[in-house]
Amino acid sequence: MKLHRRILDDLRTWKESTDRKPLLLRGARQTGKTWAVTEFGRTSYENVLRIDFMRDPQAKALFDGPLNPHSLIDNLKIYTSQNVAQQDTLIFFDEVQECPKALTALKYFCEEAREYHVIATGSYMGVSKHNNDSFPVGKVNMMTLHPLTFTEFLENTGQEQLSDMIRDGRFDSINAAFEPRLNDLLKTYMFTGGMPSAVVTRLAGGDWEQVREEQRSILDSYDLDFSKHAPARIIERIRLAWGAIPSQLAKEHRKFIYGVVRPGARAREFEESLMWLGDYGITSRIPCVSALKTPLAGYTDASAFKLFTVDVGLLGALADISASTILEGTNAFVEFKGSLAEQYVCQQLVSAGYSPYYWANPNGRAEIDFALEHQGLIYPIEVKSSTNVKAKSLRLAHDHFGTGKAIRFSLERFRQEDWVTNIALWGVDGFKAYLDSTR
């Protein structure tokens, strides 16, 4: 079966843009970059000229000489035995990190041949490193493909209207009769996650063990990539840090502790490994800030951070959490002391384009799960994984720093109070639209 991905709408907007540049689509492995561009090409162009540099390493030689785009197109036509029409052909460089000169060539397509429609896809790791070649800064449009958000998941389960209402931030328009359905679907999503192959497995009728097996396969492919791409001296530490994420999040205070990874470990031993995981695109590093003031980046404490994975389903697989633990009752929201719920919220916020932070006061008696900036205001966010929505830390932070209205994501339904707004956990993907509507 085919999934509906919102990135397809973004790609169509890119095609019609009067200021279109070559496009670089990045994302972690297994998020569906190749499928998305292939499907976009199939539905929006008469022809797709695709070069997969991983499967066809000989094609790299096409870029060994001068990177004149017109000469490159002549050679590409001969190499693939395909014609290239400026408006009707999509030129697709897949796995572009395997051919850095092809990435560099995007600069010259922008400067000298913008009439051609060119998309390159690549993993975070290869694109971010891009050693010994000039990255086409300012010469490409850039997009990032994340795992499916919860509202994308809803769309693919036939709940398009509810998905639209959430995505538009119209929480007060959602009748209470739909909330049990949304909570059940959210639990399903928290087990399945948003990796396309896991979602397809479930929607095609696969049972929970088949979904989990697909997630384990993704984790195995990541582990193979660790061996293939990482410097040999840090491979073991990468595996230790990656495997320790569930135990890090299970702590009462989820600041990353190097001693949890390995007894007696120091930051200097694992910092490069953590940076590698971030460059690979499968972790989100959430820095601690000393004050909820703008800009948040100016108040970060480099030594304190939380680490989340790219996907809530993969976190469950990494921790080997059973389906019954997540799907029965409200366990999905309290497992790991609520860390699955925090992982889910973090994932939705990152997909929405936010760079989240968190705040903890120096005496350790108060902590805010997330904080972010939106249109010049700071919003402190607390994730409550039960129906107990008392929020002493949230109130303390709001009053002390004079932030914008505080936000609480919980199992309670939408409710606005004088200083805090409660949004149901299933509504996180509509948070940005809600903020825009209240300005």
Tens-digit pLDDT profile for residues 319-333: 999 898 888 876 667
The SS3 assignment for 340 reads helix
Q: Which residue has the higher pLDDT, 385 or 255?
A: 255
pLDDT at 183 over 60: yes
**pLDDT average, residue stretch 283-298:** 95
Backbone angles phi, psi at 167, to 5 degrees: -60, -30
What is the distance of C-alpha 399 from the center of its chain? 32
- DSSP for residue 304: E
Per-residue pLDDT for 406 more than 70? Answer: yes
CB 357 within 8 A of CB 300: yes
Mutual angle of helices 196-203 and 208-229, in 10-degree steps: 160
- Residues 136, 104: contact at Cβ < 8 Å? yes
Find the DSSP H helices in 230-306: 235-243, 245-249, 258-261, 267-280
3-class secondary-structure state, position 117: strand
136 touches 110 (CB < 8 A): yes
Q: Specify the CATH class of 7-144 in words.
A: alpha beta
**For 253-292, where are the alpha helices, taking DSSP H only?**
258-261, 267-280
Q: Hey, how many other C-beta atoms are within 10 angstroms of the C-beta on 262?
A: 15
pLDDT score of 96 more than 80: yes
Domains of the chain by residue range: 7-144, 150-438
Instruction: Yes or no: say if 383 and 371 are a contact pair by the CB < 8 Å rule.
Output: no
Q: First and final CA of the chain: distance in angstroms?
A: 40
With contact defined as beta carbons under 8 Å apart, do 414 and 427 qualify?
A: yes
Contact residues for 413 (Cβ-Cβ < 8 A; gap 6+): 176, 179, 422, 424
CA–CA separation, 118 and 140 (whole Å):
10
Judge whether 24 and 106 are in contact, CB under 8 Å: yes
From CA 93, how far away is CA 48, in angstroms rounded?
10
- What is the C-alpha radius of gyration for the chain, rounded to an integer number of angstroms? 23
Mean pLDDT of 165-183: 96
Encode pLDDT of 230-257 as tens digits.
999 999 999 999 999 998 988 776 689 9
CA quadruple 46, 27, 101, 60: dihedral sign? negative
Choice among 128-132, 233-237, 364-368 with the minimum mean pLDDT: 128-132
Average pLDDT, the chain: 91
Indicate the pLDDT class of residue 228, thresholds 50, 70 and 90: confident
Contact (CB, 8 A) for 320 and 328: no
How does strand 377-383 pair with strand 89-94? unpaired
CB neighbour list of residue 278: distance below 8 Å, 6 or more residues apart: 284, 285
Whether the Cβ atoms of residue 349 and residue 373 lie closer than 8 Å to each other: no
| Residue type at 137 in one-letter notation | V
Read off the pLDDT band of 389 (50, 70, 90). low
Higher pLDDT, 296 or 337: 296
Q: DSSP string covering 162-175, please?
A: HHHHHHTT-GGGS-
Q: How far apart are CA 119 and CA 37, in angstroms?
A: 8
Task: Tell which residue, 169, 165, 119, 170, has the closest CA to residue 145.
Answer: 119
Residue 229: is it exposed, middle or buried by C-beta count within 10 angstroms (0-12/13-18/19+)?
Answer: middle
Say yes or no to pLDDT of 298 above 70: yes
Taking the model in full, what pTM does it have? Answer: 0.92
Q: Which pLDDT score is estimated for 235?
A: 96
Q: Which of 291, 285, 213 is nearest to 254 (CA)?
A: 285
| CB count in 10 Å sphere of residue 241 | 26
